[in-house]
Amino acid sequence: MDPLLPSFARDPGTASYYEDRAREYDEWYDGRGQFADRLREGWHGEVEELVALVKGLDPARTLDVACGTAYLTRHLRGDVVVGLDQSRTMVAVAQSRLPAGVAMTGDALDLPFADGAFDRVLTAHFYGHLPPDERFDLLAEARRVATELVVIDSAWRPGLEPEEWQVRVLNDGSSHRVFKRYLRPEQLAGEIDGEVLWSGTWFVAAVRR
């Protein structure tokens, strides 16, 4: 990957990073491991609000794109809940949490589903990593397979760069470069041609119906 040109969903190095991170991914949500000593005022309360937001969505045939470990996916309601991720280990963890659903590997930018296969696409902490070309492809695919899109991501806060390259260190000490954006509520809603669904200090959510 050209270090000057952002890439995420199509970058092999990023895919390898998330495969290696799968078993420790939830430490970020739960404030465990290397996140235990981070000062994140209000974080745990907002995670609970985020879970409540997902639980409160109307029951629907839902596809969670880049579902990760299904930390949020498991709270979706509906007769059909499918989680998709490119990491095999993420998918294995996700499937263990979705006894009535399905987790599978696949390409988020070329979804292996027919037009209109779902009522809703949800994606959390994925959209905000994508450069413009990948965002365009994700939004087009989401529109193709479902009538509703819910995007959850990291909120911009004072002192943060709106977009940056980050160095991520895993528990094994390995370092990885990841492209990251922080989004204002109205910015996210405008980018997906939708409306603000929820916003806090740490997270933001928007919906396109």
Orientation of helix 12-21 relative to helix 88-97, angle to 10°: 40
Residue 201 has pLDDT above 50, yes or no: yes
Best CA proximity match to 187, nearest among 196, 176, 179: 196
The mean-pLDDT minimum among 3-7, 42-46, 163-167 falls in: 3-7
- At 5 the pLDDT is 67
Specify whether the CB–CB gap between 194 and 206 falls below 8 A: yes
Report whether pLDDT(204) > 50: yes
Strands (E), the chain: 62-65, 81-85, 102-105, 120-124, 148-154, 163-169, 175-181, 195-199, 203-208
* Chain position carrying tokens 């994140």: 40
Q: Is 111 in contact with 86 (CB distance < 8 Å)?
A: no
Q: How far is CA 155 from the centre of its chain?
A: 13
DSSP run (H or E) holding 185: helix 185-191
Average pLDDT on 115-126 reads 98
* DSSP string covering 49-81: HHHHHHHHSPP--EEEET-TT-TTGGG--SS-E
CB 112 within 8 A of CB 82: no
AA identity, residue 43: W
Q: What is the mean pLDDT of residues 135-159?
A: 98
Domains of the chain by range and CATH?
A: 12-208 (3.40.50.150)
For residue 131, give every residue at least 6 positions away whose Cβ sits within 8 Å of its Cβ, in sequence order, or none: 5, 6, 7, 8, 179
Q: Which residue has the tokens 């087009």?
A: 140
Q: Which residue has the higher pLDDT, 96 or 2?
A: 96
pLDDT for the residue 1: 40
Residue 86 region by backbone torsions, left for phi larger than 0, else alpha for psi between -120 and 50, else beta: alpha
